[in-house]
Amino acid sequence: MKEKKGSELTKEKAKGKRKAVKNPMGTAFDTPVKIQPIKKPKAVKKVADEKKKETKPKKTKKTDAVVEMATVEKNKGAKKAVKVIFLGGVGEIGKNMTAIEYGNDIIIIDAGMTFPSEDMPGIDSVVPDISYLTQNKHKIRGIFLTHGHEDHIGGLPYLLKELDEGTPVFGTRLTLMLADNKFQEHHITRVDERVVKPGDCISVKSFKVEFINVNHSISGACALAIYTPCGIIYHSGDYKIDLTPVAGEPIDLKRIAELGQEGVLLYMAESTNIERSGYTLSETVVGATFDHLFAENATRRLIIATFASNVHRLQQIIDMAVKYRRKVALSGRSMLKVVEAAARIGELKIPDGVLIDVERIKNFRDNELVIISTGSQGEPMSALTRMASGDFNKVTIGENDTIIISATPIPGNEKMVYRVINNLYKQGAKVVYESLEKSTFRGTPVKKNTRCCTPFLNPNSLSPYTANIAI
């Protein structure tokens, strides 16, 4: 498997005796990211003593001044800066990875990958440039995973191969189960995996990291509150505000507000769908949509494409299949692995006799089947793409098939998704997708979700991550 590296790190020195929080890393496509101040900091109190006046930080540019002053006020003894280094995932979709450094200590948040675009022939996957981390691997104290999506854990095997053996990896149960699948594929053994749950606090040298429950399109998603000697950095992870989730607890807004009262130095906010107005709707609405689609297509075979890692969505499809007396067949290697892992730890509940092997679908009538498939993003080698082009020998699309694409196209994938939709129509199938039904609700925040969290946190500075630089 070939890899494509992003841009290299560059370092900047802060002005004055005390350094400010820096963002020395561009994205994989060299897009600079600025940490934007939200409010003016309280002025540093004047002191009569001439020596104390000399220790006052020199004025730098506005962004630096905000963080420097906050550092001086809260941590008068702090002499070093905390560095926030975006290695990927800013101004782009995928390969999310951020390093936070203070003195001789570094922690890494997520280690994702992305799939190649059409202008990358011969490339199988794209991972961040980790040269800075390999040069400073003696400083790395741990890897903290927010959740188990590919764009957050897909690059983990490549990272661990380059780091010292025994570097701890922290994540929730499902996140680490999905990471295990990656390690097995790359023949990586003896990984120091440490299971955490929301509310846990992990201390590593200069940092303390708290896991905070959030809602997303996958179980076990968390935000991170990183306590540094210079103040609290809040990393939102991928999230949405869902007050009526189909499983688990709602997002912990109470704890988020408490952090705001403690004082947040920097809010790293997900911005994937920030340009979209309104609120992200609850996953329960998707369940109601599935219910009427199952009823409406009672005589037809159903094929539903979704993200394999969206365990909550899979559970709703299985529940509908049970209600309408249909068997469920899984198509796609990643779908099989995720279902197996989620069922093993109790995140997915499947009644006995519901699952059948995809090889056996020819033994059942159309109205007795639901096929859950990968390929909701039009990936070239996915099961749905091969079905649409007639290259999948296990499932042949026909006029009595209804295809439900239950995922929103990731920006940049629209062309591939609509190519698959057109090919499905050519095969005679009926296709239900985003513009037709509410079966594709996003797992990421839209404008009012982000605006809801920002006043709770009341941060000194705000930095977007994932896709859109503007907030």
Output phi, psi for 304, to 5 deg.
-115, 120
Per cent of the chain over pLDDT 70 is: 76
Average pLDDT of the chain, as a whole number: 81
Per residue in 7-49, pLDDT tens?
Answer: 443 334 333 333 333 343 333 333 334 444 444 444 434 434 4
CA pair distance 345, 448, nearest whole angstrom:
34
Look up tokens 């499905």; give the residue. 424
Better pLDDT: 316 or 24: 316
Q: What sign for the dihedral angle of Cα 454, 456, 460, 463?
A: negative
219-255 confidence digits (pLDDT tens): 899 999 999 999 999 999 988 888 888 778 899 999 9
- Looking at residue 276, its pLDDT comes to 59
Residue 126 and residue 27 in contact, taking contact as beta carbons nearer than 8 Å: no
List of domains in the chain: 19-278+445-465 (3.60.15.10), 283-438 (3.40.50.10710)
Segment 193-198 mean pLDDT? 97
Residue 433, pLDDT above cutoff 70? yes
Quick: pLDDT tens for 376-423.
Answer: 988 888 999 999 999 999 999 999 999 999 988 877 788 899 999 999
Residue 343 scores a pLDDT above 90: yes
Residue 66 pLDDT? 33
Rounded-to-integer distance, Cα 444 and Cα 459, Å: 21
pLDDT of residue 31: 38
Higher pLDDT among residues 172 and 63, named by residue = 172
pLDDT at 352: 95
pLDDT at 134: 96
Give the pLDDT confidence of 270-301 residue by residue, as tens digits: 877 666 555 667 777 888 889 999 999 999 99
Q: End-to-end alpha-carbon separation of the chain, Å?
A: 36
Residue-wise pLDDT tens digits, 87-128: 998 878 789 999 999 999 999 999 999 877 778 888 888 999
> Going by DSSP bridges, is the β-strand pair 231-235/82-88 parallel, antiparallel, or unpaired?
unpaired
What pTM did the predictor assign? 0.77
Tell me what pLDDT residue 285 has: 81
